[in-house]
Chains A and B, each alone.
Chain A
Amino acid sequence: MPGGGRCPDCGSTELVEDSHYSQNQLVCSDCGCVVTEGVLTTTYTDEGNLREVTYSRSTGENEQVSRSQQRGLRRVRDLCRVLQLPPTFEDTAVAYYQQAYQHSGIRAARLQKKEVLVGCCVLITCRQRNWPLTMGTICTLLYADLDMFSGTYMQMVRLLGLDVPSLCLVDLVKTYCSSFKLFEASPSVPAKYVEDKEKMLSRTLQLVELADETWLVTGRHPLPVITAATFLAWQSLRPSDRLTCSLARFCKLANVDLPYPASSRLQELLAVLLRLAEQLAWLQVLKLDKRSVVAHIGDLLQHRHMLVRKAFRDGTAEPGALDAREEELQGPGQGQGWGREDRGHGSLDLPAGKRPASPALLLPPCMLKPPKRICPTPPVSTVTGDENISDSEIEQYLRTPQEVRDFQRAQATRQAATSVPNPP
Chain B
Amino acid sequence: MDQNNNPPPYAQGAMTPGIPIFSPMMLYGTGLTPQPIQNTNSLSILEEQQRQQQQQQQQQQAAVAAVQQSTSQQATQGASGQTPQLFHSQTLTTAPLPGTTPLYPSPMTPITPATPASESSGIVPQLQNIVSTVNFGCKLDLKTIALHAGNAEYNSKWFAAVIMRIREPWTTALIFSSGKMVRTGAKSEEQSRLAARKYARVVQKLGVPAKFLDFKIQNMVGSCDVKFPIRLEGFVLTHQQFSSYEPELFPGLIHRMIKPRIVLLIFVSGKVILTGAKVRAEIYEAFENIYPILKGFRKTT
Which residues of A come within 8 Å of B, CB atoms?
134-136, 146, 150, 153-154, 157-158, 161, 163, 165-167, 213, 215, 218-222, 314-316, 319, 362-364, 366-367, 377-378, 381, 383-387, 389, 393-399, 403-404, 407-408
- The answer to whether A219 and B267 have CB atoms under 8 Å apart is yes
Q: List B contacts of A135 (CB < 8 A).
A: 246, 248-249
Q: Which of A220, A394, A404 contacts B202 (CB 8 A)?
A: A394
Q: Which of B150, B169, B193 contacts A397 (CB 8 A)?
A: B150
Closest to B40 in A: A386
User: Smallest distance from the beta carbon of B225 to chain A beta carbons, Å?
Assistant: 10
- Report the bound CA distance from A296 to B268 in whole Å: 30
Q: Which of B1, B149, B228 contacts A399 (CB 8 A)?
A: B149
User: Smallest distance from the beta carbon of A269 to chain B beta carbons, Å?
Assistant: 17
CB of B232 within 8 Å of the partner chain? yes
- Report the bound CA distance from A154 to B188 in whole Å: 31
- The answer to whether A315 and B228 have CB atoms under 8 Å apart is yes
Which residues of B come within 8 Å of A, CB atoms?
1-2, 40, 43-44, 47, 76, 81, 126, 147-151, 164, 166, 168-169, 187-194, 197-198, 201-202, 205-206, 228-229, 231-233, 236-237, 240-241, 244-252, 267-270, 298-300
- The answer to whether A316 and B233 have CB atoms under 8 Å apart is no
Known: A219-B267, A315-B229, A386-B40. A397 touches B245 (CB 8 A): no
- The answer to whether A218 and B190 have CB atoms under 8 Å apart is no
- The answer to whether B248 and A394 have CB atoms under 8 Å apart is no
User: Smallest distance from the beta carbon of B238 to chain A beta carbons, Å?
Assistant: 12
- Report the bound CA distance from A4 to B170 in whole Å: 96
User: Smallest distance from the beta carbon of B74 to chain A beta carbons, Å?
Assistant: 14
- The answer to whether A367 and B229 have CB atoms under 8 Å apart is yes
- The answer to whether B244 and A408 have CB atoms under 8 Å apart is no
- The answer to whether A384 and B190 have CB atoms under 8 Å apart is yes
- The answer to whether B1 and A158 have CB atoms under 8 Å apart is yes
- The answer to whether A219 and B147 have CB atoms under 8 Å apart is no
Q: Which of B2, B43, B267 contacts A161 (CB 8 A)?
A: B2
Closest to B249 in A: A150
**17 CB < 8 A contacts A-B:** A150-B246, A167-B248, A218-B231, A218-B247, A219-B267, A221-B248, A316-B228, A394-B198, A394-B201, A394-B205, A397-B150, A397-B164, A397-B202, A398-B148, A398-B149, A398-B206, A408-B147
- The answer to whether A319 and B76 have CB atoms under 8 Å apart is yes
- Report the bound CA distance from A117 to B99 in whole Å: 39
- Report the bound CA distance from A395 to B299 in whole Å: 57
Q: List A contacts of B166 (CB < 8 A).
A: 397
- The answer to whether A366 and B268 have CB atoms under 8 Å apart is yes
Closest to B297 in A: A316
- Report the bound CA distance from A403 to B150 in whole Å: 9
User: Smallest distance from the beta carbon of A382 to chain B beta carbons, Å?
Assistant: 9
Q: Which of A158, A222, A381, A386 contacts B248 (CB 8 A)?
A: A222
Q: List A contacts of B169 (CB < 8 A).
A: 383
Closest to B231 in A: A218
- The answer to whether A385 and B249 have CB atoms under 8 Å apart is no
Closest to B245 in A: A166
- The answer to whether B190 and A385 have CB atoms under 8 Å apart is yes
User: Smallest distance from the beta carbon of A156 to chain B beta carbons, Å?
Assistant: 12
- The answer to whether B188 and A398 have CB atoms under 8 Å apart is no
Q: Which of B43, B269, B298 contacts A385 (CB 8 A)?
A: B43
Beyond A221-B248, A396-B150, list 20 extra A-B contacts (CB 8 Å): A135-B249, A153-B246, A158-B1, A161-B1, A163-B241, A165-B240, A218-B232, A218-B247, A222-B247, A315-B228, A383-B191, A386-B44, A397-B151, A398-B148, A398-B149, A398-B150, A399-B150, A403-B150, A404-B148, A408-B147
Q: List A contacts of B252 (CB < 8 A).
A: 219
User: Smallest distance from the beta carbon of A124 to chain B beta carbons, Å?
Assistant: 12
Q: List A contacts of B241 (CB < 8 A).
A: 163
- The answer to whether A154 and B1 have CB atoms under 8 Å apart is no
Q: List B contacts of A153 (CB < 8 A).
A: 246, 249
- Report the bound CA distance from A167 to B247 in whole Å: 9
Q: List B contacts of A363 (CB < 8 A).
A: 229
- The answer to whether B248 and A134 have CB atoms under 8 Å apart is yes
Q: List A contacts of B248 (CB < 8 A).
A: 134-136, 167, 221-222
- Report the bound CA distance from A219 to B126 in whole Å: 23
Q: List A contacts of B228 (CB < 8 A).
A: 315-316
Q: List A contacts of B168 (CB < 8 A).
A: 393
- Report the bound CA distance from A399 to B148 in whole Å: 5
- The answer to whether A397 and B149 have CB atoms under 8 Å apart is yes
Q: List A contacts of B251 (CB < 8 A).
A: 219-220
Known: A150-B249, A367-B229, A398-B150. A166 touches B298 (CB 8 A): no
The residue among B76, B228, B246 with the most chain A CB atoms within 10 A of its own CB is B246
- Report the bound CA distance from A207 to B206 in whole Å: 67
Closest to A399 in B: B150
Shortest beta-carbon contacts, A-B, top 3 = A385-B193, A385-B190, A219-B268
- Report the bound CA distance from A163 to B2 in whole Å: 11
User: Smallest distance from the beta carbon of A221 to chain B beta carbons, Å?
Assistant: 5
- The answer to whether A314 and B300 have CB atoms under 8 Å apart is yes
Q: List B contacts of A396 (CB < 8 A).
A: 150
User: Smallest distance from the beta carbon of B41 to chain A beta carbons, Å?
Assistant: 11
Known: A219-B232, A399-B147. A213 touches B300 (CB 8 A): yes
Q: List A contacts of B250 (CB < 8 A).
A: 150
- The answer to whether B188 and A316 have CB atoms under 8 Å apart is no
Q: List A contacts of B1 (CB < 8 A).
A: 158, 161
Known: A397-B202, A399-B149, A404-B148. A218 touches B197 (CB 8 A): no
Closest to A315 in B: B229
- The answer to whether A364 and B229 have CB atoms under 8 Å apart is yes
Q: List B contacts of A404 (CB < 8 A).
A: 147-148
The residue among B2, B76, B240, B247 with the most chain A CB atoms within 10 A of its own CB is B247
- The answer to whether B201 and A389 have CB atoms under 8 Å apart is yes
- Report the bound CA distance from A396 to B240 in whole Å: 53
Closest to B192 in A: A385
Q: List A contacts of B232 (CB < 8 A).
A: 218-219
- The answer to whether B298 and A157 have CB atoms under 8 Å apart is no
Q: Which of B190, B249, B268 contacts A364 (CB 8 A)?
A: B268
User: Smallest distance from the beta carbon of A163 to chain B beta carbons, Å?
Assistant: 6
Closest to B77 in A: A318
User: Smallest distance from the beta carbon of B10 to chain A beta carbons, Å?
Assistant: 19
Closest to B193 in A: A385
- Report the bound CA distance from A9 to B189 in whole Å: 90
- Report the bound CA distance from A215 to B270 in whole Å: 13
